[in-house]
Amino acid sequence: MNTNRRKAFRTIADVLHSPIAELAAFRRKPAQKTDRVMRSSKLEDSIYAELREDDTEMDMTEHAAAQKLKSFPALSHDVFQSLYSLAPRKNGTDMLTAAAQKFNAPILDHISQQDDYPTLKNICEGRSLPAYEAAAEFTSRAAEELDGLLSELGGDKGALNTLEKLETARDAAAEELAKLLDVQATGETTEPGKQALINAANRLDSKQRQVEAVSQLLETTMLRQKEAVKLAVSAAVQAATERAEEVQSIIGAWSDEPSNMRCTPENLALLEKVRQSPVLRDVSKYLGRFREIFAQAKKNSYAYGRGETYSLELGDNLSRALTSELAMLATPETIPLFLRKYQQKQIKQYRRREPIYKGMGDIICCLDESSSTEGEAAAWGKAVAMTLLEIAAESRRSFALIHFAGSSSCQVDMFRPGEYTLEDKLSSAETFLGGGTNFERPIREVIQLMDTEGFEKADVVFITDGECELPDACQQELQAAQVAYHFTVTGILLDEGQSGMDFSLKPFCQKIYRTSELTGDDIVQSLTFGR
């Protein structure tokens, strides 16, 4: 850059009749600049400050990045704000520092343009904990790639800081010139004063040209490296989305208030506990969705008639049609609409699910934890068991989880209403026995619970992936117990990819669901209705 160029102004008239005088007036009292691209309320700032408290890892990340780019620490706050706010707002460009204009603002624009952003926004909006966790993850990834991003967005990594220094010097020169022009307007300017004015005008002109040159350089580089920046931001947004989904999954799976995504000590402790356990993390992926299925089942079920529960469906059965549908027959204007819906079988009607009996019994779940189930099958089975526990808790029934594998491997976890904690649930879900498969031991435990623990008339759910024969003597004892205690056994066979194994459950299960025929969600939905 040539700084020894010919001076633009040699006389007072040159200055007064040039745009530089207007620039001096405009920049006389430059607005307070901010690194914050996003606007936020005092309440939102307070929420963010509380979330940031004691986050030493974020402190270290931002401190290191600030050595390279002064505006970087504001990025995490802005990312949080853009995800958390129901109505995100931005500060005007004239309010932003040069670094915020050329780095922070483009990064935020790239975030909102990613394919994952709608999913990320949906998880985080109005939910402080996933929003902060996502922002922290993004900031960490961006800090790791900061040198590359600075190069891609600003050419030389020092260019942004250079631009900011030039703008500060430009504004100082403008303020100086504005003061000298005020004196000139009074007609009291001395010859030395006139020369000082001309010199000040030339300094301002020089600084403005330098600002424009560096800005143009940055703009050109940004356009040339747009795709590279997009790829780097895309990877960081993907990581942030996975982090937010993990928070949603864990809280949704285990919290007593799954919709409460605030940064509470309970939620933070839960996140830490589950993140330390690969087993619990895997269970969480299923359990959160299963709890939603159960909640939806409760919402969409209707008591209709005596002793039966119904959900809604479309059809043409007038005996089960909703009153609101039949009401269309009351007025001539809506009769054609009713007839059309009837012909197309689009009438909203009750769908009978299954009987509800007064005094429903407790629930027993026998869960196969042989070595062959380790991994996804075990996680799915545990999630089903925990969903059954929630069903039992909803109606204050007792629940027993029988972990079984080989003949010598069995553990019974008892859950009486009001007598267990979240830690008890997590400990039970984390249990995995391993080994072979033996059906006799869990069946005898079921009978024992009936005989001694008050589990008569219980619903029994038996989950397994194995082939195993139940000895005749044990089978006869089970049949006798079923007659005495009036209970049924529902089998869930994890036979996806290897259908034809149901013979192992047929001798003692009254109903069998098979993963080779139904999706996991379908099975859970069937289990939740009517329980």
Give the residue from 115, 114, 96 showing the smallest Cα distance to 160: 96
Mean pLDDT of the residues in the chain: 84
Cβ atoms of 102 and 163 within 8 Å: the answer is yes
Q: Which pLDDT belongs to residue 222?
A: 60
Lowest mean pLDDT among 119-123, 305-309, 468-472: 305-309
Instruction: Render pLDDT for 382-391 as a digit per residue (tens, 0 to 9).
Output: 999 999 999 9
The CA distance from 116 to 108, in Å, is 14
Sorted by where each starts, the structural domains of the chain and their CATH numbers stand as 10-253 (no CATH), 308-355 (no CATH), 363-528 (3.40.50.410)
Amino acid at 122: N
- Residues for the chain: how many in total? 531
For residue 29, pLDDT over 70 is answered with: no
Task: Pick 378 or 54 by higher pLDDT.
Answer: 378
List, as one string, the DSSP characters of 184-228.
HHTT---HHHHHHHHHHHHHHHHHHHHHHHHHHHHHHHHHHTHHH
Instruction: Render pLDDT for 208-244 as a digit per residue (tens, 0 to 9).
Output: 888 777 777 666 666 656 676 788 899 999 999 999 9
Cα angle, residue 39 at apex, residues 227 and 208 outer, rounded to 5° = 65
The CA distance from 166 to 282, in Å, is 53
| pLDDT (average), residues 105-119 | 92
134 contacts: CB under 8 Å, gap ≥ 6: 79, 80, 83, 120, 123, 124, 240, 241, 243, 244, 247
The CA distance from 364 to 482, in Å, is 14
**pTM for the predicted model, two decimal places:** 0.70
The CA distance from 66 to 160, in Å, is 12
Q: CB burial class (10 A; 0-12, 13-18, 19+) of residue 95?
A: middle
Cβ atoms of 353 and 311 within 8 Å: the answer is yes
Total Cβ atoms within 10 A of residue 477: 16
Instruction: Render pLDDT for 320-341 as a digit per residue (tens, 0 to 9).
Output: 788 778 888 888 888 888 888 8
Q: Which pLDDT belongs to residue 500?
A: 55
Q: Which residues pair with 415 in a beta bridge?
A: 399
The CA distance from 237 to 115, in Å, is 9
| pLDDT (average), residues 59-82 | 91
For residue 495, pLDDT over 50 is answered with: yes
For residue 351, pLDDT over 70 is answered with: no
Q: Which pLDDT belongs to residue 4?
A: 46
Distance between alpha carbon 212 and the CA centroid of its chain, in Å?
Answer: 42
Burial pattern 20-34, b for ≥16 Cβ within 10 A else e, equals bbebbeebbeeeebe
Token pair of 362 as six digits: 């407790």
Token pair of 199 as six digits: 């010199």
Burial pattern 302-319, b for ≥16 Cβ within 10 A else e, equals eeeeeeebbbeeeeeeee
Radius of gyration from C-alpha coordinates of the chain: 35
The CA distance from 9 to 5, in Å, is 12
